[in-house]
Amino acid sequence: MKKSLLFLFGLCFLFAIQGQAQDYSRSVGVRGGLGANVTYKQFVGPESAFELLGGFYFGDVYASLTYEKHNAFTNDVRGLTWYWGIGASVLLSSGGIGIGGLGAIGLDYAFGDIPLNISLDWMPHLYLIGGNGFEAGGGGFSLRYILER
What local confidence, expressed as pLDDT, does residue 79 receive? 86
Q: How many domains does the chain have?
A: 1
Q: What is the 3-state secondary structure (H, E, C) of 82-103?
A: EEEEEEEEEEEECCEEEEEEEE
Residues 6+ apart with CB under 8 A from 87: 51, 64, 65, 66, 67, 101, 102, 104
pLDDT band for position 118 (cuts 50, 70, 90): very high
Cα-to-chain-centroid distance, residue 29: 11
Q: Tell me the pLDDT tens digit for each residue of 3-30.
A: 443 444 444 443 433 333 347 999 999 9
Q: Is the pLDDT of residue 34 over 90?
A: no
Q: Is the pLDDT of residue 122 over 60?
A: yes
CATH number of 78's domain: 2.40.160.20
What local confidence, expressed as pLDDT, does residue 95 receive? 86
Residue 104: give the domain boundaries: 2-148
How would you classify residue 85: left for phi > 0, otherwise alpha for psi between -120 and 50, otherwise beta?
beta
Q: Is the pLDDT of residue 132 over 90?
A: no
The Cα 92–Cα 127 span in angstroms is 12
What local confidence, expressed as pLDDT, does residue 16 receive? 39
Q: Tell me the pLDDT tens digit for each residue of 47-69.
A: 999 999 999 988 899 999 999 99
Secondary structure class of 62 (helix, strand, coil): strand
Among 30-34, 60-64, 72-76, the minimum mean pLDDT is found in 72-76
